[in-house]
Amino acid sequence: MAPPPRLAILLLCIFFSLAAAAAAAEGCGRNTSLEGYEADLRMSQHQLRGRVAVLDGCSFRVSGLDLLAGSSSARWWRAQGADLESLSRGSPAAADPLNRTFASESLVFRLLPGLSWPLVPFLAAFDPLTSSLFGFVRLPSNTSDSDPTDSDSGGDGSSSSAAPTMLASCAQLSPRFRVRWTLNESANAIDVGLEAAVGSEFYMAFGWAAGKPASMIGADVAVVGFTEDGLPFAEDYFVTKRSECVLRGADGGAEGVCPDTIYGGRNGTAAEVNNTRLVYGHRRDGVSFVRFSRPLVSPDKKYDVQVNATKNMTVIWAIGLLRPPDSLSPYYLPLNHGVPAGTAFGFLELNVSETTSCHGPLDADDKEDQGRITAERQTPLVVTVGPAMHYPNPPNPDKVLYINKKEAPLLKVERGVPVTFSVEAGHDVPLYITSDAVGGNATSRNMSEIIYAGDSKSEGVPATPTELVWLPDRNTPDLVYYQSLYDPKMGWKIQVVDGGLSDMYNNSVLLDDQQVTFFWTLSGDSINIAARGEKKSGYLAIGFGTAMVNSYAYVGWIDGDGRGHVGSYWIDGKDGMSVHETHENITYKRCRSENGAIVFEFTRPLTPSCSGRVECKNIIDPSTPLKVIWAMGSQWSSGRLSVNNMHSATSNRPVRILLLSGLAEAVQDLRPVLAVHGFMMFVAWGLLLPGGIVAARYLKHLKGDLWFQAHTYLQYSGVAVMFLGVLFAVAELRGFSFKSTHAKIGLLAFTFTSVQPINAYLRPHRAENREILSRKRVIWEYLHVFTGRTALVAGATALFTGLQHLGHRYGSKTIKGLTCGLVLWVVSGVLVVVYLEYIKVKRRRDGADGLTHKWVLGNTEEDDSVDLLQSDRFASKMKSSFPGPEEVQLEPLKG
């Protein structure tokens, strides 16, 4: 009896679901309040453009559909909103896959059975596989009835159904450059959108040429582009000369391709001449898009061309590299666009009243806009979180992962080279390496993933970072992802490649600001060097020296034909004229561009085998630290250099590289620990130890054992301070190294000083057999005095060599002052000693010195000690030696 009811229930279910489907199909033809509603698709990715029109209860037309292909899971999608959370909870709205490129097509799509418009508050183009939003329209709910009939007048920018990327007309200027525009004649305005598949470092210029025949001179162009922070800008420019903008200092004038405000600014008419308004801009899929608005007939008759909306007019356009603002000019200035016509610049007859269109979306070769980081052996990658500014795959969370301070960069790793992450992104953001493009636990999204490294324990904060080491091996696929274990879409791609610079070079360090990596291998009497920029640039320069001025520089650049060059230079000033090309014997030169970032390599001898020329002094001594700086800019050439070759980014300070050990450190101001070392040594060698010697020599005439106490206390404290000073130096330099003169002399002083207390302890005591012991004692005293004074001379010398050493490391400004001070100190010490010596001699002549013929160094218990050094015989012959380098003159003892 059991089966039939079950069967009945099953049949009943099927019946009801069929009925529901039928009802939905029936409702499809029914008119809805949305019928006739139209809206532009808002572009998010994949160059999506198109206008959605609701046809009836369950179908819609998309006209002018442009889209770069998504994966086979990309669909029209329904969701409550366009944010990450809503989209991931949404579901497909139509069956057709968006897995191909759509080029200006007009298509009708049907909603999936069972769906009706009230269930589709947002219609999006979405790829759940990579969680990528291509674009969306918002459909008004049935209550908030913005009258659907007036929406077809959209495109004027005021209607909420108009997207800033949608303009009425489009003209193809070159294969990778388009202009789109919407004419608004009644408002005396035209909206222009410039679109080009170029890097973010390029400008796009478009405007109207004056007069006939068309010429670049007198053209009124808008120059648009992106700042280094990725923000769009649009500026009104006027061309007075076929050159880059040059400011004439005296009268404040300018010529070339300059902003209107430079010409007109002086008269206080900046507001009038600056009449190009930025409306919108973005970079998506390697394509720049900037929309601006300008008047057709401008009040500025001088620097604006009047546009007749109904006439054929000549327009002029160009794309080229942009020079960032610097101290000379506060503007982003377009550099010479170069040739050929039709690719880099061109003219076109255009009547803005005629509607034309372009075919399909722009497809850039290089769609990846993110910063790049290449992992190196031994150099940890610092993983933090920060605000999402330009996350490559919207929608995205507010906070995303940063590596080495770059937002969600593309990470490049080499198989066989371990990658170390220092994870300090917070306790709720553990890092893991996964095959899943979205991250944040694929299992919870019913997807599978392979985890290569990381788990819930690989989390940390800046105070207690956690190290995560991952070794990509030969089984690791070419593309994996770094992500947060709990939250989706915080990380980005990891490119896994075979072999690279880290394979070919033994050592590498990141230079200052982590924008340039320096590689080297020492081989015999030559050195192989490579440098790699970590961001896009036209050239990369590294220099040996503490600053650009007085440095030997090596520049790698790619010329207009795409060939790489490496050149060597000597720089003795701050302008283009002070960069002198040199003829260094560099071999194995190679320069290439890896996705826009310059990599160059060369080999040079450690010691140039020439003489006379400046580059012959460019000697690399592997045992002394090499100070390395860098710079990057947009353009370089082998001939004469100009202001265009100025760098746009540079290191803030040199990095000292120990070529033998592979270690590097940023050059800093006087290291506190070394300063303490220096001060302690000064106290020991400049004050306490000489003080003790002076006490032993000149205080003997005082009653009691005062001189002896002063001598021992001063010497013991001097030795103690010296010990501490040595420890400080050892701690700072992480070990002993006796390569430098300073260390050698210091070691000598240290040894002599250390034997003195032992020596003093072992001194022959006075005994019965006075004759023999006296002799021993005398020899011992000679020894003691000799060692002590040698130590003092060595110590004082070490003070000077120490300052010299410091000068080599940290530049010579403060060191000169310190050296002068020390010289003064020594001289005054010598003077004091000379004076004391004089007093002493005088006292002895007066016969007041009752202590002659007493041993100097005896313990006071042995009160009959004789002052060997005080005895007339010697004293008269002895020259004061403190603390100068003159040697103590001791006469051999008679009898």
The two tokens of residue 844 are 């002895």
Distance CA 394, CA 83 (A): 9
Closer residue to ligand NAG, CB minimum distance, 145 or 669 = 145
666 sits in which H/E element: strand 663-666
Closer residue to ligand NAG, CB minimum distance, 277 or 415 = 277
How far out from the chain centre does Cα 520 lie? 20
Minimum Å gap between C-beta 680 and ligand NAG is: 46
Minimum Å gap between C-beta 667 and ligand NAG is: 30
Closer residue to ligand NAG, CB minimum distance, 270 or 683 = 270
Closer residue to ligand NAG, CB minimum distance, 99 or 550 = 99
- The torsion defined by the Cα of 476, 479, 485 and 491, in degrees rounded to 10, comes to 150
Closer residue to ligand NAG, CB minimum distance, 312 or 812 = 312
192 sits in which H/E element: strand 189-196
Closer residue to ligand NAG, CB minimum distance, 445 or 653 = 445
Closer residue to ligand NAG, CB minimum distance, 350 or 833 = 350
* Type of residue numbered 106: S
Distance CA 396, CA 393 (A): 7
Closer residue to ligand NAG, CB minimum distance, 196 or 442 = 442
Residue 93 in contact with residue 108, Cβ under 8 Å? no
The two tokens of residue 794 are 């060595």
Distance CA 389, CA 399 (A): 9
Minimum Å gap between C-beta 38 and ligand NAG is: 16
Buried b (16+ CB within 10 A) or exposed e, 597-623: bbbbbbbbbbebeeeeeebbebebeee
Closer residue to ligand NAG, CB minimum distance, 325 or 817 = 325
Closer residue to ligand NAG, CB minimum distance, 158 or 611 = 611
Distance CA 205, CA 283 (A): 16
**Residue indicated by tokens 């060097």:** 529
Contacts of 185 (CB under 8 A, 6+ apart): 296, 309, 353
Contacts of 423 (CB under 8 A, 6+ apart): 383, 430, 431, 458, 459, 460, 465, 466, 467, 468
Minimum Å gap between C-beta 487 and ligand NAG is: 11
Minimum Å gap between C-beta 268 and ligand NAG is: 9
Q: How far apart are the first and last CA of the chain?
A: 138
Closer residue to ligand NAG, CB minimum distance, 297 or 848 = 297
CA angle 205, 208, 210 (to 5 degrees): 130
Closer residue to ligand NAG, CB minimum distance, 79 or 597 = 79
* Type of residue numbered 628: V
Minimum Å gap between C-beta 133 and ligand NAG is: 20
875 sits in which H/E element: helix 872-877
The two tokens of residue 530 are 């490579």
Distance CA 133, CA 489 (A): 12
714 sits in which H/E element: helix 706-733
Contacts of 13 (CB under 8 A, 6+ apart): none
Q: Which residue from 654, 639, 662 is spatially nearest to 512, judged by alpha carbons?
A: 654
Closer residue to ligand NAG, CB minimum distance, 283 or 294 = 294
* Type of residue numbered 8: A
The helix/strand/coil state of 708 is helix
Distance CA 463, CA 829 (A): 50
* Type of residue numbered 696: A
Residue 319 in contact with residue 198, Cβ under 8 Å? yes
Residue 409 in contact with residue 535, Cβ under 8 Å? no
Minimum Å gap between C-beta 145 and ligand NAG is: 10
Closer residue to ligand NAG, CB minimum distance, 121 or 164 = 121
Minimum Å gap between C-beta 149 and ligand NAG is: 11
Minimum Å gap between C-beta 273 and ligand NAG is: 9
The CA radius of gyration of the chain, in Å to the nearest whole number, is: 40
Minimum Å gap between C-beta 679 and ligand NAG is: 46
Residue 197 in contact with residue 315, Cβ under 8 Å? no
Minimum Å gap between C-beta 799 and ligand NAG is: 42
Minimum Å gap between C-beta 171 and ligand NAG is: 10
Closer residue to ligand NAG, CB minimum distance, 18 or 119 = 119
The two tokens of residue 733 are 């330099």
Closer residue to ligand NAG, CB minimum distance, 78 or 656 = 78
Minimum Å gap between C-beta 432 and ligand NAG is: 8
Minimum Å gap between C-beta 889 and ligand NAG is: 54
Minimum Å gap between C-beta 645 and ligand NAG is: 25
Phi first, then psi, for residue 392 (nearest 5°) are -75, -15
Closer residue to ligand NAG, CB minimum distance, 234 or 419 = 234
Distance CA 145, CA 493 (A): 43
Distance CA 560, CA 554 (A): 19
Distance CA 252, CA 263 (A): 8
Minimum Å gap between C-beta 46 and ligand NAG is: 14
Minimum Å gap between C-beta 69 and ligand NAG is: 7
Closer residue to ligand NAG, CB minimum distance, 33 or 759 = 33
Biggest alpha carbon–alpha carbon distance for the chain: 142
Minimum Å gap between C-beta 237 and ligand NAG is: 10
Within 10 Å of residue 816's Cβ, how many Cβ atoms?
11
**Positions that interact with ligand NAG (CB under 6 A):** 31, 72, 97, 99-100, 118, 141-143, 259, 261, 263-264, 266-267, 270, 274, 308, 310-312, 349, 351, 441, 443-444, 485, 526, 585, 587, 605, 609
The helix/strand/coil state of 261 is helix
How big, in percent rounded to 5, are the helix, strand and coil portions of the chain? Answer: 25, 30, 40
